[in-house]
């Protein structure tokens, strides 16, 4: 392959820049803990927003009755109902439905979008079978998961700061999204009420905790990333107004914006500079599913240009941003064949490499592993940072007993190497003894049921 022998220096350099030995992990974990503290002290004092969820009542298992959840966070919205049977019967029944949002509604006005959602909810609620029963004298209550940046003002109200993820709906920004939904439900003639407005990480924490009281932290690793955790009210200095009671609440860290001490490369810097939000969401750009494939593509492009990794020409598709996805990296890393046949096929299909030598395929897999290892290990360090902050304030209550971190999102769910690199970093940082107490586990669709559970634990009829 041309002058392929020159490629190793680029790989060696990349591996050196992306290395995450224990001191680097330790520094990241400590910085996460201290940035959390600054964000709790005052708004705007840290990369971490440390947003109050206004969730003061967590599900206990005693909730009873019929509750709904509505989840809007991307190109689909999901509706779900659950019949809760209290401590003995738990989740008696659940049903859900997923509806694709027509593209034109993503560019329309607020009434059109919310009317579409409310009419979907109306149709779903009309199909309620006799397995579900509403307690006499109550309205159907909804937990509304809304995964866009919201300034929450109470458990059931929050102002949309800006649409993201390709939505450009006019007339919603600056408004309370719960009012928008309530008004649309009224126009559609549905007699339901929103009892909890939650973000998806918060929903995951609530959903996982319903089954396991040791759950203290929830982390989403999907297209993007976020984390939330249970905090003591008296450990939130920026909560001045009301007298902080003895209770606890969920803090949404918005940790994707973290940026201290990360081992970054020229490839990360270039990707950031050409992104729609340069300088923002640096942790997210290093560890989450939207970006891992793109970082690898940029490395391979340089290897192809400088060292002729794929022969004398550089495929056009290799120069196309986001032509290589994180699931592509994952598929390539699962190829255990001697000649890496699947790697070759994926390189052809995604970035248009007509033919690759075995040494080039091996090089590609090494690059994937380098970027995925860095991502997984840094995510692990971030988790330890959160646990460390909690432990500092409540000695022995985190590291000295069983503590569960609930994980969700497609990247964590589907990428085995990422998952084990994350676990390795946690174990290295905590040491063999302490890490026995820290359980990092996948929580399957916690967030849907979690929102319904939060509607129940924050019911207007309590």
User: Which C-beta is closer to ligand ADP: that of 303 or that of 407?
Assistant: 407
Does residue 326 touch ligand ADP according to CB under 6 A? yes
By CB under 6 A, how many residues form the interface with ligand ADP? Answer: 15
Phi/psi at 436 (nearest 5 deg)? -65, -30
Does residue 415 touch ligand ADP according to CB under 6 A? yes
Q: Which residues contact 70 (CB under 8 A, 6 or more apart)?
A: 77, 78, 79, 80, 117, 121, 142, 143, 144, 145, 181, 451
Residue 140's DSSP bridge partners are 192
User: Which C-beta is closer to ligand ADP: that of 296 or that of 304?
Assistant: 296
CA pair distance 284, 164, nearest whole angstrom: 15
Q: Which of 115, 200, 268, 272 is catalytic?
A: 200
Chosen residue from 222, 376, 380, 450 binding ligand ADP by CB under 6 A? 222
Does residue 342 touch ligand ADP according to CB under 6 A? no
Phi/psi at 403 (nearest 5 deg)? -135, 130
Does residue 448 touch ligand ADP according to CB under 6 A? no
User: Which C-beta is closer to ligand ADP: that of 267 or that of 399?
Assistant: 267
Q: Which of 131, 165, 362, 436 is catalytic?
A: 165
Q: What is the DSSP string of 381-392?
A: HHHHHHHHHHHH
Q: Which residues contact 211 (CB under 8 A, 6 or more apart)?
A: none
User: Which C-beta is closer to ligand ADP: that of 54 or that of 415?
Assistant: 415
User: Which C-beta is closer to ligand ADP: that of 158 or that of 222?
Assistant: 222
Does residue 411 touch ligand ADP according to CB under 6 A? yes
Which 8-state DSSP code applies to residue 36? H
User: E-strand spans in 39-167?
Assistant: 51-52, 64-72, 76-85, 91-100, 140-146, 150-154, 157-160
Q: How far is the CB of 157 from ligand ADP (least distance, A)?
A: 24
CA pair distance 302, 227, nearest whole angstrom: 34
200 is catalytic: yes
Residue with tokens 């090494």: 366
Does residue 223 touch ligand ADP according to CB under 6 A? yes
Does residue 414 touch ligand ADP according to CB under 6 A? yes
Does residue 108 touch ligand ADP according to CB under 6 A? no
**Residue span 165-204 as binding mask against ligand ADP, x where in contact by CB under 6 A, dash where not:** ----------------------------------------
CA pair distance 65, 71, nearest whole angstrom: 20
User: Which C-beta is closer to ligand ADP: that of 68 or that of 415?
Assistant: 415
First to last CA, the chain: 71
CA pair distance 349, 363, nearest whole angstrom: 18
Contact 191, 141 (CB under 8 A): no
131 is catalytic: no
CA pair distance 419, 450, nearest whole angstrom: 23
Does residue 263 touch ligand ADP according to CB under 6 A? no
Does residue 410 touch ligand ADP according to CB under 6 A? yes
Q: How far is the CB of 328 from ligand ADP (least distance, A)?
A: 8
CA pair distance 217, 221, nearest whole angstrom: 13
Does residue 330 touch ligand ADP according to CB under 6 A? yes
**Residue span 7-46 as binding mask against ligand ADP, x where in contact by CB under 6 A, dash where not:** ----------------------------------------
**Residue span 271-310 as binding mask against ligand ADP, x where in contact by CB under 6 A, dash where not:** ------------------xx--------------------
Q: How far is the CB of 443 from ligand ADP (least distance, A)?
A: 12
Does residue 74 touch ligand ADP according to CB under 6 A? yes
Does residue 207 touch ligand ADP according to CB under 6 A? no
CA pair distance 61, 220, nearest whole angstrom: 23
Stretch that binds ligand ADP, among 234-242, 259-267, 343-351, 409-417 (CB under 6 A): 409-417
CA pair distance 103, 157, nearest whole angstrom: 27
Q: How far is the CB of 446 from ligand ADP (least distance, A)?
A: 12
Does residue 149 touch ligand ADP according to CB under 6 A? no
Cα distances (angstroms) measured from residue 181 to each of 79, 146, 172, 184, 459: 14, 11, 11, 5, 18
Residues classed as catalytic: 165, 200
By CB under 6 A, name the binding residues for ligand ADP.
Answer: 73-74, 222-224, 289-290, 326-327, 330, 409-411, 414-415
């Amino acid at each position: 392959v041309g002058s392929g022998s020159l490629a190793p220096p680029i790989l060696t350099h990349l591996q050196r820049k992306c290395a995450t030995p224990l001191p680097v992990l330790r520094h990241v974990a400590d910085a996460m803990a201290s940035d959390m503290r600054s964000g709790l002290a005052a708004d705007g004092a840290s990369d971490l927003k440390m947003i109050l969820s206004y969730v003061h009542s967590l599900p206990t298992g005693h909730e009873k009755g019929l509750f709904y959840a509505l989840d809007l966070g991307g190109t689909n919205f999901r509706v779900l109902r659950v019949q809760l049977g209290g401590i003995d019967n738990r989740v008696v029944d659940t049903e859900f439905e997923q509806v694709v949002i027509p593209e034109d509604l993503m560019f329309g006005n607020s009434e059109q979008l919310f009317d579409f959602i409310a009419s979907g909810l109306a149709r779903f609620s009309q199909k309620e079978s006799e397995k579900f029963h509403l307690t006499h004298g109550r309205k159907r209550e909804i937990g509304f998961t809304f995964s866009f940046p919201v300034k929450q003002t109470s458990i059931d109200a929050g102002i949309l700061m800006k649409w993201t993820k390709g939505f450009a709906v006019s007339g919603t920004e600056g408004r309370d999204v719960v009012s928008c939904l309530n008004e649309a439900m009224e126009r559609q003639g549905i007699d339901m009420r929103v009892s909890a407005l939650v973000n998806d990480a918060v929903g995951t924490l609530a959903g996982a905790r319903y089954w396991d009281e040791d759950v203290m932290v929830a982390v989403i690793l999907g297209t993007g990333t976020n984390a939330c955790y249970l905090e003591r009210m008296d450990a939130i200095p920026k909560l001045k107004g009301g007298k902080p009671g003895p209770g606890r609440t969920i803090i949404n860290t918005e940790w994707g914006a973290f940026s201290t001490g990360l081992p970054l490369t020229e490839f990360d810097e270039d990707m950031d500079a050409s992104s729609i939000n340069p300088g923002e969401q640096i942790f997210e750009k290093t560890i989450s599913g939207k970006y891992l494939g793109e970082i690898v593509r940029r490395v391979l492009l340089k290897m192809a240009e400088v060292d002729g990794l794929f022969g004398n020409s550089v495929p056009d598709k290799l120069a196309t941003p986001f032509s290589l996805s994180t699931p592509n990296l994952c598929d390539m890393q699962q190829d255990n064949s001697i000649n890496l046949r699947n790697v070759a096929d994926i390189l052809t299909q995604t970035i248009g490499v007509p033919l690759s030598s075995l040494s080039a395929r091996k090089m590609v897999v090494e690059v994937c592993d380098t970027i995925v290892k860095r991502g997984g290990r840094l995510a692990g360090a971030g988790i330890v940072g959160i646990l460390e902050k909690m432990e500092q304030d409540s000695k022995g209550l985190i590291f000295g007993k069983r503590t569960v971190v609930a994980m969700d999102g497609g990247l964590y769910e589907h990428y085995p190497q990422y998952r084990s690199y994350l676990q390795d970093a946690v174990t290295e940082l905590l040491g063999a003894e302490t890490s026995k107490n820290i359980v990092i586990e996948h929580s399957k669709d916690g967030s849907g049921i979690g929102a319904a559970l939060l509607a129940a634990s924050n019911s207007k009829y309590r």
